[in-house]
Structure 1
Amino acid sequence: MKHNIILTKQGQSARGTIQLTGSKSECNRALVIEALSTGKVKVENISDAADTVTLAGILRGNEEIGAESVIGEFQNTQRDTRTPHLINIGPAGTAMRFLTAYYAIGNEEVVLTGSERMKQRPIGVLVDALRSLGAFIEYEENEGYPPIILKGNFQQQTRNITIKGNISSQYITALLLIAAKLPLGLELHIEGELTSRPYVEMTLAMLNQAGIGHTWTENVISIEHQNFAETSLHVEPDWSAASYWYAIAALSDEAELFLPGLTSYSLQGDSVITEIMANFGITSVFKDGGVYLTKEPKPLARKIFDMKECPDLAQTVIVVCAALGHNATFTGLETLKIKETDRVLALQTELAKIGVKLIEKGQVYKLDCSEKQIPQRMFVSTYDDHRMAMAFAPLAIVIPGLEIEDADVVEKSYPAFWTDLQKVGFTVQEKAES
């Protein structure tokens, strides 16, 4: 049973304090590091995002499997390892990529599968790289896509891997996370321009906090075989979640919002939302252990937004521009087509409901707001995508009756989203749908 909701907002101001959950991006990396360290690294402020809860359950043994299986420091003797262990990660794309690398270097046969959409999301680039290293991996159904069978008995064949830079950075991160456990280490050659560079930098910074050093010279990242240090990794609140509050501020006439725990020196690439939203009159002031958002009238001068290094912000920024009638241009949206849904197509479909076109010309996308019209009511399809639900939710400020399909989809990254909206004056009315 899906639960739709009707969102309404009285008044054009947004004021309040919102405590965000831990960063899903940081937390997922930290959990893999914790597992690979076999107890030396501890994670603090774990996110309550569904994807992270799933990953934590698997890596911490709630799925009967954990760090003991990795490259032979310990052998799991509690059950018959000759029987493949089925792990279903549902719609958790990051978990699929990270666990593929994690179990590839282990000693146990594992089958990794997920939701129907997950079976449509490519994994071939990462599998090919891991096979080159010495992993035994097979496809159970379709070549290049989950489910995959990881055979165990890893024996490293080389330390040199070449991978294209314009694919999902999660493939690169998955390889970097396991690099220090590889007997020969890893020398990763990145071919072409690197997409989502901040996410790779986040990975390396967190590894460094856990005692794993690296060198990055031009397009080559090298990590030697080395041991993790005893430490704690504290997960910062989620800047991706913060972006929706910036959107609410941008669509409000007045805004005074405080987001505790966020810093100006974040590892998260999505912290660039502070710079992007400055174009919409949103001022970010870091003090009192968090960030204050305020709104002041300002004509939009910037018309071109490059989302290459922050693709998870794309839906948020595009919807804000559409609602305000700004004919902006966007680049760096290539990876959006292989996310939880084809996010480009989803945006085009939903924006058409307010008369706005997102026109694709090669790798450039242009918003045409010339026929924009704000209806009294609007139904937003979410396509099993948490970010579609949250990116479109701020439209309730300008659309009196906004119905959001499958409200529970936000549990993937921000379970408290609808509750938090009510703290600043949104009304959330549930509506059951079969």
Structure 2
Amino acid sequence: MKHSIILSKHNGNVKGTVQLTGSKSECNRALIIEALSNGKVKVVNVSDAADTVTLSGILKGTSSESPKVVIGTDEKNEVEAIEAKQETETVNIGPAGTAMRFLTAYYAISDNDIILTGSERMKQRPIGILVNALRKLGANIEYEEKEGYPPIKLKGSFEQLTSKISIKGNISSQYITALLLIAAQLPFGLELHIESELTSRPYVEMTLAMLGQANIRHTWTDNIISIPHQDFAETSLHIEPDWSAASYWYAIAALSDEAELFLPGLTPYSLQGDSVIAEIMANFGITSQFKDGGVKLTKEAKPVIRKIFDMKACPDLAQTLIVVCAALGHEASFTGLETLKIKETDRVLALQTELAKIGVKLIENGQVYKLDCSERFIPDSIFINTYDDHRMAMAFAPLAMLINKVEIEDADVVEKSYPAFWKDLEKAGFKPEYQHN
């Protein structure tokens, strides 16, 4: 049964220490690397995000052996025959989008027959670009229902046909990451040509850096990333705290009168692209001091001047930043939101719908989105719909700094990436009250 949560805050000050969970983005990559490495790579500080728990459980249920890959037909005489296949297994990843993309590539080169499916929303999220790329490499993948969308059937009969493939870079960086994660296990390696501008480049850089920690080398020249066939080295991948989760605390600080927050474990040298939130929130008077093994956030009164924010490299921060600007009545413009419409929900439409409840419009004009705060008002109470999207819940929660009563639908949705969010808010002086519907 879904239940909502009512948040209230008796003053405009916030202080305390918040120990964030491990990065979901890092951890999901690390878990695939661990599975591919045949036990050579170990993951430390595994995230407790629901998506990561789901992925970890699925991979632990997979054979401990690395996926077996068969080289193309001209090399068949040098490769052992594939063992008899077991009956097709169905793997349901629920709403875990990253798991869907990464497991599609992982199972594509495995020795198992798998049907990969998910929630109803997952069946509406496109997978065709990744499937087409894997098919060109030699994967045997069929659609079970709608062409281009999950569920998909992956047959364990991979024979690498080529090492050179092209993929669009402006749709989802997760497609690119999924291919890069398996690249070193391909007999011929992989030469990946990225067409058009690359969206969310920091996420691709994160993938390559983590592969590098496991001794997988690569070259990146212009729009071509090359990874030769090679083995993983024995190592441990230590997962940093989640900068995406930190972004909500930056938002809370930005809407506060006074803030003094400490987030342990975060560094200015993070692999995570969302660490740019520290730079972004400096525009709102938030100072980030990296010391004592973490980052200290403080607030100073400062007029917000910056008018244009490009979210192309950090789309997961878009909802958080847009809500902060709307709450402050700051009429900023945003670019780089193209991928938001194919996330857990259509995040653009969801933002437009919920911001209307405080009189703010998010106006779409081509690839530019502008906030119109001319009719903005601060109500005494508000009800926020989440659309089964964890980031909608957490992006709007900071409104409790300004609105006496903020009720958020489906409190449990935050478990996808930040299960302790409501408890952490309570420790920081918010008053949460659960409502059973």
Q: Report how far residue 201 of structure 1 moved.
A: 0.1
Deviation readout 1:5-52 (Å, 9 max, x if unpaired):
110001110000000000000000000000000000000000000000
Deviation readout 1:400-422 (Å, 9 max, x if unpaired):
01100000000000000000001
Alignment partner, residue 68 of structure 1:
65
- What amino acid is the match of 1:95? A
Alignment partner, residue 20 of structure 1:
20
Correspondence list, 1:11-90, <5 A: 11-61=11-61, 65-68=62-65, 70-71=67-68, 81-90=85-94
Q: Does 1:416 align with 2:420?
A: yes
CA contact (8 A) 1:35 1:66 kept: no
Select 1:366's aligned residue among 370, 380, 390: 370
CA contact (8 A) 1:281 1:298 kept: yes
Whole-angstrom CA distance in 1 between matches of 2:93 and 2:178: 16
Alignment partner, residue 128 of structure 1:
132
Deviation readout 1:118-160 (Å, 9 max, x if unpaired):
0000000000000000000000000000000001110000000
Alignment partner, residue 300 of structure 2:
296
- What amino acid is the match of 1:16? G
- What amino acid is the match of 2:137? L
Deviation readout 1:300-336 (Å, 9 max, x if unpaired):
1111000000000000000000000000000000000
Partner SS for 1:111: strand
Q: Report how far residue 170 of structure 1 moved.
A: 0.1
Q: Does 1:103 align with 2:111?
A: no
Deviation readout 1:263-285 (Å, 9 max, x if unpaired):
00000000000000000000000
Partner SS for 1:292: strand
Select 1:113's aligned residue among 117, 121, 130: 117
Whole-angstrom CA distance in 2 between matches of 1:310 and 1:321: 17
Partner SS for 2:65: helix
Alignment partner, residue 75 of structure 2:
none
- What amino acid is the match of 1:368? D
Correspondence list, 1:146-161, <5 A: 146-161=150-165
Runs (4 or more) in structure 1 with deviation over 3 Å come to 72-77
Q: Report how far residue 69 of structure 1 moved.
A: 5.8
Partner SS for 2:355: helix
Correspondence list, 1:162-241, <5 A: 162-241=166-245
Select 2:269's aligned residue among 233, 257, 265: 265
Select 1:286's aligned residue among 290, 297, 300: 290
CA contact (8 A) 2:36 2:66 kept: no
Whole-angstrom CA distance in 1 between matches of 2:112 and 2:298: 53
Partner SS for 1:279: helix
CA contact (8 A) 1:379 1:405 kept: yes
Q: TM-score under structure 2 normalisation?
A: 0.96
- What amino acid is the match of 1:10? H
Q: Report how far residue 192 of structure 1 moved.
A: 1.2
Whole-angstrom CA distance in 1 between matches of 2:163 and 2:411: 45
Deviation readout 1:179-237 (Å, 9 max, x if unpaired):
00000000000011110000000000000000100000000000000000000000000
Alignment partner, residue 330 of structure 2:
326
CA contact (8 A) 1:7 1:402 kept: yes
Correspondence list, 1:343-358, <5 A: 343-358=347-362
Alignment partner, residue 138 of structure 1:
142
Whole-angstrom CA distance in 2 between matches of 1:286 and 1:304: 27
Alignment partner, residue 8 of structure 2:
8
Partner SS for 1:27: helix
Q: Report how far residue 72 of structure 1 moved.
A: 5.4
Whole-angstrom CA distance in 1 between matches of 2:435 and 2:246: 26
- What amino acid is the match of 1:68? E
CA contact (8 A) 2:37 2:66 kept: no
Whole-angstrom CA distance in 1 between matches of 2:249 and 2:85: 47
CA contact (8 A) 2:286 2:300 kept: yes
- What amino acid is the match of 1:131? R
Whole-angstrom CA distance in 1 between matches of 2:321 and 2:262: 20
Select 1:375's aligned residue among 379, 391, 395: 379
Q: 1:75 to 1:305 in 2, by over 3 A?
A: farther
Count matched residues: 428
- What amino acid is the match of 1:159? S
Whole-angstrom CA distance in 1 between matches of 2:100 and 2:68: 19
Q: Report how far residue 82 of structure 1 moved.
A: 3.2
CA contact (8 A) 1:311 1:336 kept: yes
- What amino acid is the match of 2:388? D
Whole-angstrom CA distance in 1 between matches of 2:389 and 2:81: 38
Partner SS for 1:203: helix
Partner SS for 1:144: coil
Give the root-mean-square deviation of aligned CA atoms: 1.4
Whole-angstrom CA distance in 2 between matches of 1:67 and 1:174: 20
Whole-angstrom CA distance in 1 between matches of 2:88 and 2:313: 38
Percent sequence identity is 77
Whole-angstrom CA distance in 1 between matches of 2:322 and 2:379: 18
Partner SS for 1:236: coil
Whole-angstrom CA distance in 2 between matches of 1:366 and 1:70: 47
Q: Does 1:387 align with 2:379?
A: no
